[in-house]
Amino acid sequence: MSKFHSITFASSIVALTLCGPLQAEKFGLGRAALPDEIAAWDLDVHPDGTGLPEGSGDVLTGEEVFAENCAWCHGDFAEGVDNWPKLAGGMGTLDHEDPLKTVGSYWPYLSTTWDYINRSMPFGNAQSLTPDEVYGIVAYILYSNDLVDEDFVLSRENLTQVEMPNANGFIIDDRKTTEAHFVTDPCMQDCKDKVEITMRARVLDVTPDTTE
């Protein structure tokens, strides 16, 4: 072994020896989050109602809150303004060429509606609504989809009892078993050695130039 290689090898050993303790050390930045701090971020609501806070809201009160906070984008009757999302309508259109996917026609769980509004709405002023206001807005959206009566009151106790029209419209992805014949191991030997280009994306100008 040459003198240069010996020095290089020895330097590498020393560097690795020094790195070991350094990598094991903690930086000492920050601290463990307090329970109250974790709770402030723990906003998700599950389909079974886990995470829902106490509270309630009726359709008519929800209509007032909706008109003040949501109608600018979603319309007075949740019909949508311009290209903003429609929240009502679309029943029976999911098998059409251009389906209208709304809370009423598409969303399988009402908890998703509550969760999304609570954490993300109103646009530009997220998480400014009280739980009662969110319950009221969701109740009004249900009413706008003809899913509840005008005197309906939504609460933590009955939210999971509301069955959405498309509750059975989703299935668990089972392609791994039902389409097992499409699942194959990648080719690792005797693979195709030549690829024939049948078309070039010249219009999009995304086909790389070939160089010899």
Q: Please, what's the b/e burial string for 137-149 (b: 16 or more CB within 10 A of its CB; e: otherwise)?
A: bbbbbbbbbebbe
Quick one: how far is CA 70 from the chain centroid?
21
Looking at domain 35-161, its CATH architecture is Orthogonal Bundle (1.10)
State residue 202's pLDDT score: 64
Query: Cis omega before residue 122 (within 30°)?
Result: yes
Give pLDDT, residue 77.
97
pLDDT of residue 182: 80
3-class secondary-structure state, position 51: coil
**How high is the pLDDT of residue 195?**
78
User: What span, in angstroms and rounded, lies between the C-alpha atoms of 37 and 155?
Assistant: 26
59-69 helix and 131-144 helix, angle to the nearest 10 degrees: 100
155 burial (CB, 10 Å; 0-12 / 13-18 / 19+) is middle
List for the chain the helix, strand, coil content (%; round to 5): 35, 5, 60
At residue 108, the 3 state secondary structure works out as: coil
Burial of 191 (0-12, 13-18, 19+ CB in 10 A): exposed
**Domain ranges across the chain:** 35-161
Query: What does pTM read for this prediction?
Result: 0.70
DSSP per-residue letters across 172-207: ---HHHHTGGG--PPP-SS-----------TTTT-S
Evaluate whether 89 touches 80 at the Cβ level (below 8 Å): no
pLDDT, residue 133, reads 99
Structure tokens of 42? 């723990």
Q: Residues 109-127: pLDDT tens digits?
A: 999 999 999 999 999 999 9
Tens-binned pLDDT, residue by residue, of the chain (212 aa): 555 455 555 555 545 555 555 556 778 889 999 999 998 888 899 999 999 999 999 999 999 999 999 999 999 999 999 999 999 999 999 999 999 999 999 999 999 999 999 999 999 999 999 999 999 999 999 999 999 999 999 999 999 999 999 999 998 889 888 888 887 777 778 777 777 887 776 656 655 566 65
CA 157 to the chain's CA centroid:
25
In this structure, which amino acid lies at residue 201? A
